[in-house]
Amino acid sequence: MKIGYFPGCTLKTKAIGLDDSVKDTARALGHELVEVPDWTCCGATFSLAADNVMALAAPVRILANARKAGDELVTVCAGCYNVLKRANYAVNADPEKLKKINDFLEMEYDGGLKVLHYLEFLRDHVGFDKISGLVKRDLSAIKVAPYYGCQMLRPHEELAFDDPEAPMMMDDLLEAIGCDVIDFPHKVECCGAFLTVCSNLDARKDPGAKAAGGAVNECSYTILEAARRRGADLVVLTCPLCHYNLDSTQPAIEQQHFGFKQIPIVYFSQLLAVALGLDPKKYALDDKHHCVDPSGVLNAKVSA
């Protein structure tokens, strides 16, 4: 089965391991994800101004191109999912807005595309029970903390992904592939999000600027320390921005909080690839792509 796929910008740069593991695991499960032709950036954030119709042009163009090939579009980046699904909701809820965008783009998008996160695709098109039966490596010794963040869950009316306060979809997949999933109440806490961009910009202007970066560190510390105290070996997620914040801040957190111990951050699709017997070396599970190297945990706790 072939289905449209939108990787987004970050998966072609900083999150190559996420992109490769998604495409390869889909193929191993009998499906082919086909990239939307001539895709561009989705816009990265969804405009909060209701009258900013032009902000919908980039995501609707992607939706229109994907619609030419089928009824569904899969994406995995939480930010891309948020933007594409909310843009689709917006134009379906307002026919006049859709007409303006179509006229501007000189395209005819009918609003009939369904945007799916890869987790939804795995649940609805493959089935977690089937995935469980295809597992080739024993991951039962790994305690994992599933982390959802904000972008896939809110606003719930527009995204309708999972319970915004107590999501379980990623938990269920991780259990299906054999992981020991811990009870993790911090799974929907914010990691600091785009404040990390502000901190980088501040640092360029003033090397002593720490306000925004400090906020990201504290948000990340709260999540990471909660996972560590519950015995997690790995924090598992799907958002490249969350991955960057939770992973890259740990050396600074270690300096700021006595007794803090680093914990590796991985994408759920990377663990899925390992469980299905694919070669872990293909999916950036190393110190080159992580501040906190996950390979030690995987080498010690994954059984063939």
SS (H, E, C) 224-244: HHHHHHCCCCEEEECCHHHHH
pLDDT at 254: 94
Is there a domain that residue 129 lies in? no
pLDDT at 226: 98
pLDDT at 202: 47
Is there a domain that residue 125 lies in? no
Mark which of 74, 90, 118 sits at the end of a domain.
118
Q: Reply yes or no: is the peptide bond before residue 95 cis, omega within 30 of 0.
A: no
Is there a domain that residue 62 lies in? yes
Closest CA to 3 of 27, 19, 21: 27
Task: List the structure tokens of 46.
Answer: 């969804």
Same-domain status, 113 and 143? no
pLDDT at 213: 57
Is there a domain that residue 236 lies in? yes
Is there a domain that residue 131 lies in? no
Same-domain status, 224 and 282? yes
Same-domain status, 170 and 286? yes
pLDDT in tens, 22-68: 999 999 999 999 999 999 999 999 998 888 999 999 999 999 999 99
Quote the CA–CA distance of 126 and 1 in Å, as a whole number. Answer: 11
pLDDT at 303: 84
pLDDT at 198: 60
Quote the CA–CA distance of 78 and 237 in Å, as a whole number. Answer: 9
Task: List the structure tokens of 148.
Answer: 């959802």
pLDDT at 211: 47
Domain that holds residue 113: 2-118
How does strand 114-117 pair with strand 265-267? unpaired
pLDDT at 200: 52
pLDDT at 204: 46
Whether residue 185 contacts residue 223, with contact meaning beta carbons closer than 8 Å, is answered with: no
pLDDT at 203: 46
Same-domain status, 45 and 111? yes
Is there a domain that residue 126 lies in? no
Quote the CA–CA distance of 108 and 64 in Å, as a whole number. Answer: 7
Instruction: Tell me how far CA of residue 35 lies from CA of 76, 81, 135, 158, in angstroms.
Output: 12, 15, 26, 24
Segments of the chain with pLDDT less than 70: 196-213
pTM of the model: 0.94
Give how many domains the chain has, as a whole number: 2
Closest CA to 21 of 293, 289, 253: 289
Quote the CA–CA distance of 272 and 229 in Å, as a whole number. Answer: 25
Largest Cα span, the chain: 59
CATH code of the domain covering residue 153:
3.40.50.11810
Same-domain status, 255 and 140? yes
Crossing angle of the two packed helices 240-248 and 211-229, in degrees rounded to 10:
90
Closest CA to 13 of 45, 44, 59: 44
Instruction: Enumerate residues 6+ apart whose C-beta is below 8 A from 127.
Output: none
Is there a domain that residue 234 lies in? yes
Same-domain status, 208 and 151? yes
Same-domain status, 242 and 107? no
Whether residue 193 contacts residue 153, with contact meaning beta carbons closer than 8 Å, is answered with: no
Is there a domain that residue 233 lies in? yes
Mark which of 67, 92, 118 sits at the end of a domain.
118
Same-domain status, 95 and 227? no
Same-domain status, 99 and 166? no
pLDDT in tens, 75-96: 999 999 999 999 999 999 999 9
pLDDT at 193: 83
Same-domain status, 114 and 145? no
Closest CA to 39 of 66, 71, 69, 75: 66
